[in-house]
């Protein structure tokens, strides 16, 4: 009798009670698509991911090579700056932390930031400690299936919170680049697309860091 799908509002009250709803956000049961510009048509035969900058040796993986890297699944709550949050989203892909721990990527001691480079020149900047935590993933799959084209197929960055908030540092979802093609390690920070457009550089949803205050 009670095993019907919960309504949006009931679900929202539940996650609110669990302290999982950041201030100013509301729960969505859908999966909105948000990006600037067109959706790229990627050919897996020519796709690659380049790791460069402040690393001991630059690395380039083609699609086949990328798929041989160690894989994990992560369940995250994701928070978009446009005020929707989506809970218990299941992602599968490659952990940047694992790639570094296992010596696939060797950052120089000077590396402090990672710039995600995407198709058509979209970039977003992330501190190294944020993208080497367990709540950041280089994702190929959402909910058990390859990413939809518009959600970043074949590869995207994903950042979110764990349900128990064990990993406190997180960022709004724009800090996960869709159609990812490069990871640039840097000693100095370099604002990305939305960060240059007036969005907050750190973008912590728990602190409601939506916009860079100086503009308002």
Ligand X SMILES: Nc1nc2c(c(=O)[nH]1)N[C@H]1C(S)=C(S)[C@@H](COP(=O)(O)O)O[C@H]1N2
Least distance CB 34 / ligand X (angstroms): 4
Q: Report if residue 160 touches ligand X, rule: CB under 6 A.
A: no
- Output the six-digit token pair for 55: 């690393």
Contacting Mo ion within 4-63 (CB under 5 A): 34
Beta strands in 128-204, from DSSP E residues, in sequence order: 136-142, 145-146, 156-159, 180-186
Total residues contacting ligand X by CB under 6 A comes to 16
Q: Report if residue 176 touches ligand X, rule: CB under 6 A.
A: yes
Q: Report if residue 32 touches ligand X, rule: CB under 6 A.
A: yes
CA dist 205 and 15 (Å) reads 15
The smaller minimum CB distance to ligand X, of residues 61 and 174, is found at 174
Q: Report if residue 80 touches Mo ion, rule: CB under 5 A.
A: yes
Contacting ligand X within 193-212 (CB under 6 A): none
Burial class of 89 by CB neighbour count within 10 A (0 to 12, 13 to 18, 19+): middle
Angle at 149 between CA 146 and CA 151, to 5 degrees: 85
Least distance CB 111 / ligand X (angstroms): 22
CA dist 78 and 137 (Å) reads 12
Phi, psi of 10 (to 5 degrees): -65, -40
Contacting ligand X within 133-152 (CB under 6 A): 151-152
The smaller minimum CB distance to ligand X, of residues 178 and 186, is found at 178
* Among Mo ion, ligand X, none, partner that 115 touches (CB below 5 to 8 angstroms by kind): none
Burial class of 138 by CB neighbour count within 10 A (0 to 12, 13 to 18, 19+): buried
* Among ligand X, Mo ion, none, partner that 151 touches (CB below 5 to 8 angstroms by kind): ligand X
Angle at 55 between CA 52 and CA 56, to 5 degrees: 125
Q: Report if residue 91 touches ligand X, rule: CB under 6 A.
A: no
What residues line the site for Mo ion (CB under 5 A)?
A: 34, 80-81, 174
Residues at the site binding ligand X, with contacts judged by CB under 6 A: 32-36, 80, 118, 122, 151-152, 173-174, 176-179
């Amino acid at each position: 009798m009670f095993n019907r799908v919960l309504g949006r509002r009931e679900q929202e009250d539940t996650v609110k009670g669990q302290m999982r709803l950041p201030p100013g956000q509301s729960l969505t049961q859908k999966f909105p698509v948000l990006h600037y510009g067109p959706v790229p048509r990627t050919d897996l035969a020519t796709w690659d991911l380049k790791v460069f900058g402040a690393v001991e040796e630059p690395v380039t993986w083609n699609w086949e090579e990328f798929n041989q890297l160690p894989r994990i699944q992560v369940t995250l709550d994701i928070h978009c700056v446009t005020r929707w949050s989506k809970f218990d989203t299941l992602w599968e892909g490659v952990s940047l932390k694992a790639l570094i721990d296992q010596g696939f990527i060797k950052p120089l001691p000077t590396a402090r930031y990672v710039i995600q480079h995407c198709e058509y020149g979209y970039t977003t900047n992330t501190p190294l400690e944020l993208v080497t935590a367990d709540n950041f993933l280089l994702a190929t799959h959402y909910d058990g299936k390859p990413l939809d084209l518009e959600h970043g197929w074949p590869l995207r960055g994903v950042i979110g919170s764990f349900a128990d908030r064990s990993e406190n540092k997180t960022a709004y979802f724009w800090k996960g680049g869709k159609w990812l093609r490069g990871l640039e390690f840097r000693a100095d920070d370099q604002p990305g697309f939305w960060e240059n457009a007036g969005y907050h550089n750190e973008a912590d949803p728990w602190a409601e860091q939506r916009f860079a205050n100086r503009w308002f």
